[in-house]
C-alpha cells in the first residue's frame, strides 16, 4: 500500500470531505475567474498539510467542521503564497505545469492570490473561533516575513546557518506548525496538547524544507526545476552553508560572492553543487533531520490515539525520506 494512503487511513472519510469543501470554495461562476481557479486546482499535491490538520484533530477528538475549514483555509493560504512567490521569483513552472503567472500574466496572478486570501479569511470567520482566525491571519504575516528575510539575506555577505533557520522558521516550519496547532484547537485540546502539536508540526516543517533543499543538488525531472536553482537565485541552503563554512577555499568564496550578486555562471553554480556534495553538506543535512526525527518521535509518545500516532510516525519518516 502506498505510504500516503497508509498515513491517511485514520482520516480517510474526513479527507474526502476536505477535498469536496476545498473544491467548492475554490470555485466561481464567472468563466474567466472560475477557469483560473480550476487551473490552480489542477495542481493536485499530496495533501500533506490537510492531513496534518485532520490527524491532529483526530488525536484530540472528532474531526468536525472547524477542522475541515481550517484545513481548507491553510491550503488556500499556501496556494496564494505560492502564486505570489512565483511572481516575485519570476518562476515559469510549478509542479510540472506552467505557473499561474506564466499562464495568466503577473497582474492576474497577483489578483488571484489576493482573491484566494480573501476567501480563506471568510472561511476562518465561519468557524466562529477567534483562536483559529488569529492563527491563520498571523500565519499570513509570518510567511510574508519569511520571504522578505530571504530576499534581504541574499544581500548579506555572510553565509550563516542561523539565518537559514530564521527564514524557514517563518516559512515552511511556520506553515506546518499552524496546521498541527489548528487541528488541535479545532478539537478543543488543552494548552499543553496544543503546544505539543504545534512543536511537532514545526519539526516536520523544518525537516520538509531541509529535504526539499537537498533535492536542489541532484538532477531529477520530476522536481520541475534545474539543479542549483536556489543558488541561481542567490539562495544558500543548509548543505552548502555547512560545506562552505567548514571547508571553503578562496576560489569557492569568490564564487559565493558572485552567487550573492546573481552573476555566477552555470559552471560556477555546478562547482558549488559539487563542492557541497564532496565536503559533506548532504550528509550533514541528513544528520540534522535525524536529530529532529528523534525529537519528534519523543513528542509522539504522548499521543493517545494509536492509529494517529502510527500515521504521524509514517508521516514524519515520509517527509525525511521522500524521493520528491
Give the pLDDT of the chain (324 residues) as one tens digit per residue: 699 999 999 999 999 999 999 999 999 999 999 999 999 988 878 999 999 999 999 999 989 999 999 999 999 999 999 899 888 877 777 766 888 999 888 999 999 999 999 999 999 999 999 999 999 999 999 998 998 998 888 888 889 999 999 999 999 999 999 999 999 999 999 999 999 999 999 999 999 999 999 999 987 654 445 578 899 989 999 999 999 999 878 999 999 999 999 999 999 999 999 999 999 999 999 999 999 999 999 999 999 999 999 999 999 999 999 987
pTM of the model as a whole: 0.93
DSSP 29: S
CA 151, 156, 160, 163 dihedral sign is negative
Report whether 235 contacts 209 (CB < 8 A): no
Report whether 178 contacts 74 (CB < 8 A): yes
Q: Rg of the Cα trace of the chain?
A: 20
Q: What is the 3-state secondary structure (H, E, C) of 153-213?
A: HHCCCCCCHHHHHHHHHCCHHHHHHHHHHHHHHHCCCCHHHHHHHHHHHHHHHHHHHHHHH
To which H or E segment does residue 135 belong? Answer: helix 130-154
The residues with which 97 forms a beta bridge, in sequence order, are 94
3-state secondary structure of 301: coil
CA distance 38 to 34: 6
Residue partners of 312: CB distance under 8 A and separation at least 6: 55, 200, 300, 303
DSSP-assigned letters across all residues of 246-277: HH--HHHHHHHHHHHHT---HHHHHHHHHHHH
The residues with which 98 forms a beta bridge, in sequence order, are 93
**Topology of 3-321 in CATH?**
Farnesyl Diphosphate Synthase (1.10.600)
Amino acid at each position: 500500500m502506498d505510504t500516503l494512503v497508509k498515513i491517511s487511513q485514520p482520516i480517510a472519510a474526513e479527507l474526502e470531505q476536505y477535498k469536496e469543501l476545498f473544491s467548492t470554495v475554490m470555485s466561481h461562476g464567472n468563466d474567466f475567474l472560475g477557469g483560473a481557479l480550476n487551473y490552480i486546482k489542477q495542481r493536485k499535491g499530496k495533501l500533506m498539510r490537510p492531513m496534518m490538520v485532520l490527524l491532529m484533530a483526530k488525536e484530540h477528538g472528532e474531526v468536525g467542521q472547524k477542522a475541515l475549514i481550517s484545513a481548507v483555509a491553510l491550503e488556500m493560504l499556501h496556494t496564494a503564497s505560492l502564486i505570489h512567490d512565483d511572481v516575485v521569483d519570476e518562476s515559469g513552472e510549478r509542479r510540472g505545469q506552467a505557473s499561474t503567472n506564466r499562464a495568466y500574466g503577473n497582474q492576474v496572478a497577483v489578483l488571484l492570490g489576493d482573491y484566494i486570501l480573501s476567501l480563506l479569511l471568510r472561511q476562518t470567520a465561519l468557524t466562529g473561533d477567534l483562536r483559529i482566525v488569529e492563527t491563520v491571519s498571523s500565519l499570513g504575516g509570518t510567511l510574508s516575513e519569511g520571504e522578505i528575510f530571504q530576499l534581504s539575506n541574499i544581500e548579506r555577505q555572510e553565509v550563516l546557518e542561523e539565518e537559514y533557520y530564521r527564514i524557514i522558521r517563518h516559512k515552511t516550519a511556520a506553515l506546518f506548525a499552524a496546521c498541527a496547532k489548528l487541528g488541535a484547537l479545532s478539537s478543543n485540546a488543552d494548552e499543553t496538547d496544543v503546544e505539543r502539536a504545534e512543536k511537532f508540526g514545526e519539526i516536520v516543517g523544518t525537516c520538509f524544507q531541509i529535504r526539499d533543499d537537498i533535492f536542489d543538488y541532484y538532477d531529477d525531472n520530476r522536481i520541475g526545476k534545474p539543479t542549483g536553482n536556489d543558488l541561481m537565485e542567490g539562495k544558500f541552503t543548509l548543505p552548502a552553508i555547512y560545506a562552505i563554512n567548514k571547508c571553503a577555499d578562496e576560489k569557492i568564496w569568490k564564487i559565493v560572492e558572485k552567487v550573492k550578486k546573481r552573476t555566477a555562471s552555470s559552471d560556477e553554480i555546478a562547482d558549488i553543487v559539487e563542492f557541497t556534495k564532496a565536503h559533506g553538506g548532504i550528509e550533514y543535512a541528513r544528520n540534522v533531520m535525524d536529530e529532529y526525527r528523534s525529537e519528534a518521535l519523543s513528542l509522539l509518545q504522548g499521543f493517545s490515539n494509536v492509529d494517529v500516532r502510527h500515521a504521524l510516525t509514517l508521516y514524519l519518516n515520509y517527509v525525511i525520506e521522500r524521493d520528491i
